[in-house]
Structure formats: structure tokens, C-alpha cells
Chains A and B, each alone.
Chain A
Amino acid sequence: MAASTPALEISGLTKVFDTKTLEPVPVLDGIDLTLERGEIFGFLGRNGAGKTTTVKILTGAIRDYEGECRVLGHAPASMEARQGVGLLPEVLDFQGWLTAVEIMELHGRLHGVPRERLSDSVPQLLTRCGLAQDAWNRRVGPFSKGMLQRLGIAVSLVGEPELVFLDEPTANLDPVGRRQVRDLLLDLEREGKTVFLNSHLLSDVERTCSRVAILEKGRIVQQGDILGMAHVQPYVHLRTTTVPPGLLEDLRAMSDDVAVLDGTIVVRVRTADDMDPIPSLVERHGARLRYLDLAQESLEDVFMRIVGAEGGGAA
């Protein structure tokens, strides 16, 4: 497993589910993707876009597909590949009769981690993932969704993987939990681990991932740096005591994209420097400036723009 090989190499990945009665459904349609080691990669798409199918292929659950996939330099279903992989599935369904520690030990041992190492790493991981200590030795059946999610994330790391697949890791978590997971992801990045992150919570992706791919109807419609995807032109948001018509005319002279939304004037500008004359313009028209901010297009804006254009729906 040479460290020089990419963590993931996917070329022309296609998966068709044959429903027997209906026309074969292409879930994945020629995906090309490469993940370098040590990066946190966001894999976005609306429900049914094919994200989970991709993860199932890459973690060896689905073995029947077309195209080329290499996970840590090996075929996805191979022992070598799975040895280096950790997984948080989208839906967690642990054995309810086992305790959190027992589940950690079960998955750790299945992954080949020696018992003595587990006795140290299990408490560390449970702590790191924010599962309260009084829950460690309780059966997980009555656990809340948030507790299960924290346990699931810990389980995904118990095999000391190089590459971690996290399917909706912040789902079911409260704001504190989401923050902990984001911090954990950044820790993993610092430790040199590679993270493949499926998430609907685009703000989390935006704060943790360096690169993303947007999947729509089985095809990657956009991938690259988040900043590169966002519109180059930023927006200026301003609120004034009044909105004189002359002010809007002057602003429209500056930009061809000016709108008033709920009392906030939104002006698309070419560069941040373009906002400099705005305070004096407001003053000239007899109004007072209450709020002024420069905003870049968010990942959510990018996602909606791209996915909306592709399918016309929301994620």
C-alpha cells in the first residue's frame, strides 16, 4: 500500500440496478474521481443521486459494477483495501443488546485490532466522539439518535483506518455535537487521514472540506475546490434607514445585479473594492447606513445553482 498512491481512484464507475420488471436503472453513470491522501473530500448530492451506492462500492458491500476503482491502491472489496478503511453507514443499526464498549470491541476485533490495543483506544475514541462516559457500559438499544451517531463515528475509527467514509456524520446531532464532529474531522486531517464525507449539511462540508464533488442523477456535475466553484463576484448586503429611488439608480449604475430582498439591498460587485463608495452614496441620498457586509456565494448557493439547473429541485 504505497503512500504515494491516491487514497481513491475512480474511473468510469457505473452501476446499474436491474429491477427485473422495469427498465434497468443506472444509479451511477461514469463517475471519475480522485482523492489524494490526507484531504477531506465532500461528496454532495440530493437523495437518490447515488452517494450511498458509491460508498457501498468503495467499501466492498457491492461488488458488481463497471469501471475502475482503487481504494488505497487496491480493489475495493479486497482485504487490503478494507483493512485501511473505516465506515460510518448512513443508517446505523447496532445490536441493541450490546453495550457501546462491546460494539466498539466487536468492530475493532473484526477489523483485526488486538484486544490489548482496544482497551486503550476504545475509551479514547468514545471520549473523542463525545459519548458520555456513563453510557459506555449501557446497552445501546435505548440510545438516542445522537448517541448512536457518536458511537457510529467512534466505530468508524476503531480500526485505525487511513481512509474514513462518513455518511451523514452530523445527522441527528445537536449543534454541540456537530461542532465536535467538525473539530474531529479537522483533527483527522491534521493526523493525515483521508475523509470521504457524504453530507446534506452543506455548512459543515463548507467548513471542513477542501474539495467537493456534486453528484446528480449518477453523474458528477461539478467537482473541485469550494472557493473555485463559488461565483467570483461577491455580493454586498446593505441595510439603510430608507431606500431612496436615486440610491438604487446609482447602485445599478455600479452593477447590473441589484435587488431588494426584505429591506436588504443586495448588490453583486466585481471585487471587494467596489463596496468602498457605497457608504458615501447612501449618505448622498439622505439615508443612513445601518448594515453593510460583503458575502461570497456559499456552498449551499453553489449546490442549489448547480443541482437546481440540472434537475430543478431542492436537495
Chain B
Amino acid sequence: MRAALIIAGSTIKCGMRSKGIWTVVVASVLPMILLYLVLLALPDTLYDAAIQLVAGFHGEDPQEASDLILEGTDDDWNLFVTDATVSGSMKLIGVIGTAIAILFTVLTNEAARRSLQHVLSHPIPRVSVVLGAYLGAMAVTLASIATMTVFAFLLYLAQHQEANWGLFVGAGYYAIGISVTAAYCVLLTTALPSVIGVLFAFFGTWVASQTYNLRVALNNISNAFVDTIGGVWMWVVPRLGDFGTRGVDWAILINTKDDAFDWADTGNMVTATILAVVHIAFALGLAGWLLNRKAV
């Protein structure tokens, strides 16, 4: 743990001084593109099976969810789809996007092989290298979180004269998402996007505030997931026709209630927990595997 903290400390130092852009680009843009490509490429049979799987996991009937939308007013529909799409999709984006971002960064960076040999020659456990870089990058993204939070407050206060706490949590979630990728960038001694990350946080928050129904954010903690990328997502989805509908379907099935994410709902809690654990375990596991490969 001591070595991990030392590495985390140097990571933070590097992160606060660097000006890289690639991590942000990879972590924010590629995941969305990939998710759409996956949805587009999924065969109908597989798609239907996946829908049933997710619905069954929640104990919900997909048809019932669809009927609810169809029977509702336009406002209900908008509210429901907005909430469900962005919050549900963000979970998928988190998992898929992180994997892509990490792979993209690692595979294109030869520096890993070089610096790791040096670090690994010290009497420290290998896991501390991964853990240290991860923790450090997480800390670095505090700058993004703080910026997004302040911006969200200012934005919402300007519009509604009251605070939007959902934006605060959303900013945190998004920052954690990119921090996973950033951790690897530091581990591989590439640039970390502290400066660009802050700028992107401004942009994402602004987009979210322009397109998202903020009433939902005040009522449902799950909307926190959407408030940055979610805005972009909701702008993109309606423009994709049938393709976009698939994305909406997925999101609805992950969040089948019109009040979106109810923390008292066991199914939602289990889903969120599993996704979070898978997300982090996958990231750390992949890092360990890559570390061993790159060390050779």
C-alpha cells in the first residue's frame, strides 16, 4: 500500500502538470461510437435475447415497459425516455468505453514497456503499481469534479434559482469514468488530461444543462449518471432512427420505472453494484495483465 501511495502521489503530480488531450478524446468519444456500433451490429435474435435477459434480470416485462411509454403523454414519454436512456446507457458506456479507452491508449503507447522495467526493479508488489496509478488518477480528476460541480451550480442557479445536486453526482461519475483511463495513461507515462479534462467538463455540463430535463435530476439520483455525456447522448439518440431506438430500448430495460433509479429497488441496486464491480474489476484486471505483458 505504501508503494501504491507513492506512485499515486507522483501520478497526481504528473496529472496536475500535464496537458494531454488523447485520453479525454478516447474516453469520451470512442465509447459512444462503439456502443452504437455494437447495437447496430447486433443480430435481431441476439438483440431480442439480450432484451429478455435484462428484463428478466429486473423481473420486468419489456413489453410492459414499452406499453407504458406508448400510453403516456408526450411529456411523460420524453421524461421517461430521457431519464431511462441516459442513465441506463451511461452504465454500458462506462464498461465498454473504459475498456476501449484503455486498450487504445495502451496499445498505441510504446513507453509502457520502457518505464515499467524501471519501476518493477524496485522491491514493490506489482499490484501496487496498478493500484497506485489508479488511485492517483482518481485523485487527479478531482479537479474535473470540482469544476463540473461549480459550473453545474452556477448554471442551474442562473436558470432556476436553486441547486441541482444531480449534476454534482453526475460529474463525479463521469470523472471516475475517465479517471480509469487516465490511470493507465500515467502508468504508461503518457499525458494526463487535467487541463483538457476540466475544459471538457465545462462543455459536457453545459450540453447536459441545455438538453436534459432538470426536473428529473432533482427527483432521481440515477440521473446523476447522465448529466454530462447524457446530454450529448440524448441529442444523438433521436437522430438515429431505428438504430437510436435500440439504444433507448436498452436503457429502458435497465431502468424500467418512470422514476428511473430508485435506490430502494433491489433490482436497480443489484444492477448498479454489479456493473460498478465489473467495471472496476475489469479495469484493474486488464491493467495487471497488460502490466505483465508490457514488462516483457
Q: Is A120 an interface residue (CB 8 A)?
A: no
Interface string of B275-296 (1 = CB under 8 A from A): 0000000000000000000011
Contacts of B114 in A (CB 8 A): 89, 91-93
Instruction: Tell me the minimal C-beta distance from B127 to chain A in angstroms.
Output: 13
Q: Chain A residues near B10: list those with CB within 8 A.
A: 95, 98, 102, 106
In the bound complex, CA of A249 to CA of B261 (Å): 103
B7, B14, B17, B121 — which one has the most chain A CB atoms within 10 A of its CB? B121
B 188-203 to A, binary, CB cutoff 8 A, 1 in contact else 0: 0100000000000000
Q: Please tell me which stretch of A6-14, A56-64, A307-315 contacts chain B, meaning at least 4 of its Cβ atoms lie within 8 angstroms of it.
A: A56-64
Asked if residues B18 and A97 are in contact (CB atoms below 8 Å), the reply is: yes
Binding stretch for chain B, among A78-86, A251-259, A264-272: A78-86
Return chain B residues, CB-CB under 8 Å to A79: 123
| Across-interface contacts of A62 in B (CB, < 8 A) | 295-296
Q: Per-position contact with B for A122-142: 1 when CB-CB < 8 Å, else 0?
A: 000000000000000001000
Contact in complex: B123, A97 (CB < 8 Å): no
User: Is A94 an interface residue when CB atoms closer than 8 A count as contact?
Assistant: yes
Q: Known contacts A94-B115, A107-B122; is A61 also within 8 Å of B6 by CB? A: no
Check A56–B296 contact: CB distance below 8 A. yes
| Complex interface bits, B121-146 against A, C-beta within 8 A gives 1, otherwise 0 | 11110000000000000000000000
Contact status A95-B117, CB under 8 Å: no
Q: Say whether B13 contacts A97, CB under 8 Å.
A: yes
CB atoms of A87 and B117 under 8 A apart = yes
Q: Is A109 an interface residue (CB 8 A)?
A: yes
Q: Does A112 contact B (CB under 8 A)?
A: yes
Q: How far is the CB of B154 from chain A (nearest CB, A)?
A: 30
A contact residues, total (Cβ < 8 Å): 33
- A159 — which chain B residues lie within 8 A by C-beta? 122
Which chain B residues border A94 with CB–CB below 8 Å? Answer: 115, 189
Taken residue by residue from 180 to 215, chain B's Cβ proximity to chain A (1 for < 8 Å, 0 otherwise) reads as 000000100100000000000000000000000000
B240 within 8 A of A: no
Chain B CB within 8 A of A111 CB: yes
- The smallest beta-carbon distance between A271 and chain B, in angstroms, is 47
Closest to B129 in A: A110
Give the contacting residue for B122; candidates A80, A89, A93, A111; CB below 8 A: A111
The answer to whether residues A93 and B6 also contact, given A62-B296, A87-B118 and a CB cut-off of 8 A, is no
Complex CA gap A59/B119 in Å reads 10
- Are B123 and A95 within 8 A (Cβ)? no
Is there a chain A Cβ closer than 8 Å to B21's Cβ?
Answer: no
CB closest residue in chain A, given B9: A106
Contact with A along B252-264 (1 / 0, CB 8 A): 0000000000000
Q: In the docked arrangement, what's the CA distance between A280 and B120, Å?
A: 64
Q: Is A61 touching B121 in the complex (CB atoms < 8 A)?
A: yes
Q: Are B124 and A110 in contact (CB under 8 A)?
A: yes
Contact B13 A89 (CB under 8 A): no
CB distance from A204 to the nearest CB of B (A): 22
Q: Which residue of A lies closest to B6 (CB)?
A: A109
Q: When the two chains form their complex, are residues A110 and B117 in contact, meaning their CB atoms are under 8 A apart? A: no
Residues of A within 8 Å of B100, CB to CB, are none
Minimum CB–CB distance from B157 to chain A (whole Å) comes to 36
Bound form: Cα–Cα A82–B14 in Å: 26
User: How far in angstroms is the closest Cβ of chain A from B114?
Assistant: 4
Query: Is the pair A82, B121 in contact by a Cβ cutoff of 8 Å?
Result: yes
User: How far in angstroms is the closest Cβ of chain A from B81?
Assistant: 44
> What are 22 sample pairs from A and B whose C-beta atoms fall under 8 A apart?
A56-B295, A59-B120, A60-B121, A61-B120, A61-B121, A62-B295, A82-B121, A82-B122, A85-B121, A87-B118, A87-B121, A92-B114, A93-B111, A93-B114, A93-B115, A97-B13, A98-B13, A98-B14, A107-B122, A110-B3, A110-B119, A110-B124
- A interface residues with partner B (beta carbon < 8 Å): 17, 56, 59-62, 79-80, 82-83, 85-87, 89, 91-98, 102, 106-107, 109-112, 139, 155, 159, 165
Binding site for A on B (CB under 8 A): 3, 6-7, 10, 13-14, 17-18, 111, 114-124, 186, 189, 295-296
| Pairs A-B, 5 closest by C-beta atoms | A97-B17, A87-B121, A93-B114, A110-B122, A82-B123
